Amino acid sequence: MSIDEEEKEKLKEFCKTYADDKGFKLQPDPSLLDTIVSGLLRNEEKYGFRYCPCRRVSGNEEEDKKKICPCVFHEQEIKEDGHCKCFLFLRK
């Protein structure tokens, strides 16, 4: 499974825009950002959705909807911990 570099760049740009719009910071470490984005794209290839790579896909459609990035948990995690579970988004 090879991840398309153009798709990675598009997703990184989307995440950057999303972070800016929400008042978050995007993961500044290029290597870690690349790993997280690659995980999102692999999950999209495998499951049809960009599930957060830090979450386990259960197969329960209703439960798994919550795990599509940006997941329903990220804002609370950033508020409490300073980052979402996978470290894609960080508190400014």
pLDDT tens for 62-86 read 999 999 999 999 999 999 999 999 9
Radius of gyration, alpha carbons of the chain: 13
Question: How many domains does the structure of the chain reveal?
Answer: 1
- Structural domain contains residue 33: yes
pLDDT at 1 over 60: no
Give residue 30's domain range.
14-91
**3-class DSSP state of 68:** strand
pTM of the model: 0.92
- In the predicted model, what is the mean pLDDT of the chain? 95
- Structural domain contains residue 32: yes
- Structural domain contains residue 6: no
What CATH number is given to the structural domain containing 35?
3.90.460.10
- Structural domain contains residue 29: yes
- Structural domain contains residue 40: yes
- Structural domain contains residue 8: no
- Residue 30 CB neighbour total at 10 angstroms: 9
